[in-house]
Homo-oligomer: A and B are copies of this chain.
Amino acid sequence: MEINDLPKLHSDFSVDCVVFGFDKGELRILLIERAEEPFKDYLALPGNLVYDNENIDQAANRVLTELTSLNDVYMEQLYTFGDVNRHPQGRVITVAYFSLIKVKKHTLNPLSTYAKKAQWCAVADLPPLAFDHQLILEKAYKRLQNKIRYQPIGFELLPEKFTLSQLQQLYEVILEKPIDKRNFRKKILSFGLLIELDEKQKNVSHRAAKLYKFNKTRYNNLKKMGFSFEL
């Protein structure tokens, strides 16, 4: 069942997912192109109704899995949007989720009837979105900007193996400000949360950078002991 098939609703719950990715030096989100009214042909956040027999978190995971075939991604509840008039066809309260995924790791699935296709769009340069999805995105982006400074979630957006410059660029793009290279490296390495690999970049026309992995196990242990990551 799809929201648009319904006549005037009493009230319904949906979930909408703000799925961030990082690719070609830009922060992107996953949007679908709507095939039906209202907001036909607009871009929108992927979302769906919450089934009677599933928890809200499950519904959000389901939406994401249908799109990407990925489980096991970083996901958290963002905020609930429920203004009386946010949906033109009746009251739909939507719980927005916030997700970070590794773009390269998967391809996008073909979609059901209500959406033509899913695509990665640069956050910096978006057309108007359907419903109040612009508002939801803004809230999500602020959350990302805040959270990345005091939780090591940036790694969720990078490949398993990454260079320090990639990591720095990610922070610069998200925080929208330049960062000093030497100070950044000193700080990020001082946490002892990066594993230096015996491997380097390949096929780059300059000195190849070392690759690193994030040590999640160690982070979880340190966190239990009161350690706090803070950039």
A interface vs B, CB < 8 Å? 10-13, 50, 52-56, 77, 79-80, 82-84, 91, 93, 95
Q: What distance in Å separates the Cβ of A87 from its nearest Cβ neighbour in chain B?
A: 13
Nearest 9 interchain pairs by C-beta:
A56-B82, A80-B80, A55-B83, A80-B95, A55-B84, A13-B93, A53-B84, A77-B79, A52-B91
Q: Which residues of B contact A50 (CB under 8 A)?
A: 82, 93
Q: What distance in Å separates the Cβ of A108 from its nearest Cβ neighbour in chain B?
A: 28
Can you list 8 A-B pairs with a CB-CB distance of less than 8 A?
A10-B52, A11-B12, A13-B82, A53-B84, A56-B83, A77-B79, A80-B95, A93-B93
Closest to A59 in B: B82
Task: Give the most central of A12, A53, A93: most B CB within 10 Å.
Answer: A93
Q: What distance in Å separates the Cβ of A83 from its nearest Cβ neighbour in chain B?
A: 5
The docked-state distance in angstroms from the alpha carbon of A84 to that of B77 is 16
Q: What distance in Å separates the Cβ of A222 from its nearest Cβ neighbour in chain B?
A: 18
Q: What distance in Å separates the Cβ of A184 from its nearest Cβ neighbour in chain B?
A: 20
B84 pairs with A54, CB closer than 8 A: yes
Q: What distance in Å separates the Cβ of A49 from its nearest Cβ neighbour in chain B?
A: 10
The docked-state distance in angstroms from the alpha carbon of A53 to that of B82 is 11
The docked-state distance in angstroms from the alpha carbon of A142 to that of B93 is 25
The docked-state distance in angstroms from the alpha carbon of A54 to that of B95 is 17
The docked-state distance in angstroms from the alpha carbon of A80 to that of B82 is 12
The docked-state distance in angstroms from the alpha carbon of A190 to that of B100 is 38
The docked-state distance in angstroms from the alpha carbon of A80 to that of B79 is 8
Q: Which residues of B contact A82 (CB under 8 A)?
A: 13, 50, 55-56, 95
Task: Give the most central of A50, A77, A80: most B CB within 10 Å.
Answer: A80
Q: Which residues of B contact A83 (CB under 8 A)?
A: 55-56
The docked-state distance in angstroms from the alpha carbon of A55 to that of B81 is 9
Q: Which residues of B contact A12 (CB under 8 A)?
A: 11
Q: Which residues of B contact A95 (CB under 8 A)?
A: 80, 82, 93
- Selected from B52, B53, B80, the residue in CB contact (under 8 A) with A77 is B80
The docked-state distance in angstroms from the alpha carbon of A77 to that of B81 is 10
Closest to A81 in B: B56
Task: Give the most central of A52, A77, A82, A84: most B CB within 10 Å.
Answer: A82
